[in-house]
Amino acid sequence: MRLISWDALARLIDKADVVLEVLDVRVPLETRSVKVEGIARRAGKPVILVLNKADLVPRGVVLEWVKFFEGLGFKAVPFVAKQRRGVRRLKEVIRSVSSKKPTVVLVTGLPKTGKSTV
């Protein structure tokens, strides 16, 4: 686990083309950071919410969370990091929000959400 200051995180966000925020789809509101999202949006960086651990809740619940977050203006991608499910879709969404080649992606999230596996 690596903790950094908000200023350091803002500098990393400035260097990135896309911000991935990894959430645990079992408790997505508790594992999301509105502050990170705000910093990214103020920097003009797209935020993609990775709804990880999607195998641990019913599919209908996952899809409701996707709709909820898309209603807030986010791209949201169901994901199962341990099984690599959702990788293709995540790559498609990253390409849809950034045309840069190569694309610099910053992965953020609370501990135990699956950042390192993503």
Residue 7's pLDDT is what?
Answer: 92
The answer to whether residues 8 and 17 touch, using CB atoms and an 8 Å cutoff, is no
Contacts of 12 (CB under 8 A, 6+ apart): 4, 106
Structure token digits, residue 103: 């694309």
pTM: 0.93
pLDDT tens per residue, range 21-31: 999 999 999 99
Evaluate the omega torsion of the peptide bond into residue 102 and state whether it is cis, within 30 degrees of 0. yes
The answer to whether residues 15 and 42 touch, using CB atoms and an 8 Å cutoff, is no
Of 33, 30, 26, 25, which Cα lies nearest the Cα of 51?
25
Residue 4's pLDDT is what?
Answer: 80
Helix axes 6-15, 34-42, angle to 10 degrees: 50
Q: Flag residues of the chain having pLDDT under 70.
A: 1-3
Residue 2's pLDDT is what?
Answer: 64
Domains within the chain, CATH numbers bracketed: 6-108 (3.40.50.300)
